[in-house]
Structure 1
Amino acid sequence: MRKKNIFKETLLVSQEDMALLLHVNKSQWAMFEIGERDLPNDAKLKLAKLLAVATALQEGQQKTDQEILQEGKINELLNKYINDNYIKQLSTLRKLETIQRKYHEALRTHHFICLLQNDNEISTKHQTLLQDMSNKAKNTMERHGLHVQLDYEVKLKTLQYEEKLLKKRLKKSDSA
């Protein structure tokens, strides 16, 4: 009959350490674990106390200083991520607004030039100038086009979703 090693699964306690805690040798403890040998009564009493402590740990007790320190580090890191995310959102939003503004300016310029080019009274010299202006507007529209705007919109939405996840995790960490 094989016995379950509670301590090895729930705690980082080696066979050597357990044997030392119970004042038995390692082979005695190892054979007890696999059900081939019994322990002395005083070792059984110590084992019962250790099992009671292990059970109490599983039921949840006061947090240790180390746990509180680790949770503090998590909260610090989450707050840093939230702040970094906020800066990235602002930067992405500004870039998106700039790209949208330049695109719409170029689009209005292109429409304006199209209207002027239809005027028969414009000289060839002015037609060449209008063509150059039209090319500049088209290039600007391409560099700041709807596909580029979509890319920034997706980045912004991703950052906003990440922010929600970080805040949710921070709230969960605060309530724990």
Structure 2
Amino acid sequence: MEKREYLRKELNLTQYEMSELLNITRSQLSLFELGLRELPTSALVRSSQIGIFMATAKAPEAKDYPQIADWEEEKEKFLAKALDDCKYYQLGIIRKLPNMEEEYRVTLNLLQLIDYFKEQEVKEDALHLGALVTLEDKAMKSLERCGPKEMVRKNYQLVMLQKQEEVLKELIESNRIEKQELE
């Protein structure tokens, strides 16, 4: 069975597409591939012609096809844009991290101050309970934005973007080498 569908698989065609090429029905091709029927003579001749052509034709090159050259250019543009985007996102994170660290440090100071005022609760100079709740709420929101969990997440994103940058640079370089070899 595998031998019977070799040509179709080599061309990456569906049964329908191959049957169109051989000018037969899809069911005829299916039965042939299953080993239950033989192909009509005209389809055998065409199949042989295709097989001989593929065996004797020189290996195709991208430069032989203008549309592929266009795709190569699009690939280069895509890789360049992906690299630019990657660097842009890295810079954004690099700019945010020091601000996050500073906000985290300040938030820890605020939490320490809140604890101090909670201890003063029974004294005359105690802070109003509503003010403490407001300050605690502000501190918790700040921790959600810049606490250890968020800083780890940002650092992880930065590392992943740096790895992505390496991969993109390798792809760009290998693309350049392929292009030089083709010329």
Is TM (by shorter chain) over 0.5? Answer: yes
SS of the equivalent of 2:127 reads helix
For each residue in 1:106-157, what CA deviation from the matched residue of structure 2 results, as whole angstroms up to 9, or x when unmatched? Answer: 334555x48x77xx9xx742x428x849747843662321111111111111
Q: Note the 1:8-87 alignment, pairs <5 A.
A: 8-11=8-11, 27-32=40-45, 51-53=55-57, 56-57=58-59, 61=61, 63-64=63-64, 65-87=66-88
Note closer, same or farther for the CA distance 1:108–1:16 as it changes in structure 2 (3 Å cut). Answer: closer
Any conservation in 2 of the 1:103–1:145 contact (CA below 8 Å)? yes
Note closer, same or farther for the CA distance 1:17–1:106 as it changes in structure 2 (3 Å cut). Answer: closer
Moved more, 132-141 or 81-90: 132-141
SS of the equivalent of 1:128 reads coil
Distance (Å, rounded) in 2 between the aligned partners of 1:73 and 1:51 = 31
Any conservation in 2 of the 1:85–1:163 contact (CA below 8 Å)? yes
Residue number in structure 1 paired with 2:32: none
Q: What residue ranges of structure 2 are gaps of 5+ in the alignment? A: 24-38, 179-183
- What percentage of residue pairs aligned between the two structures are identical? 17
Larger radius of gyration: 1
Distance (Å, rounded) in 2 between the aligned partners of 1:170 and 1:140 = 42
Note closer, same or farther for the CA distance 1:85–1:61 as it changes in structure 2 (3 Å cut). Answer: closer
Residue number in structure 2 paired with 1:23: none
Aligned AA for 1:128? L
Any conservation in 1 of the 2:104–2:142 contact (CA below 8 Å)? yes
Any conservation in 1 of the 2:93–2:154 contact (CA below 8 Å)? yes
Residue number in structure 1 paired with 2:156: 154
State the superposition RMSD in angstroms.
Answer: 4.2
- Runs of 4+ aligned residues of structure 1 deviating over 6 Å after TM superposition are 3-6
SS of the equivalent of 1:63 reads helix
Note closer, same or farther for the CA distance 1:104–1:10 as it changes in structure 2 (3 Å cut). Answer: same
Note closer, same or farther for the CA distance 1:105–1:140 as it changes in structure 2 (3 Å cut). Answer: farther
Q: What residue ranges of structure 1 are gaps of 5+ in the alignment? A: 20-25
Residue number in structure 1 paired with 2:127: 128
Residue number in structure 1 paired with 2:33: none
Q: How many corresponding residue pairs?
A: 149
Residue number in structure 2 paired with 1:88: 89
Cα displacement (A) at 1:63 = 2.1
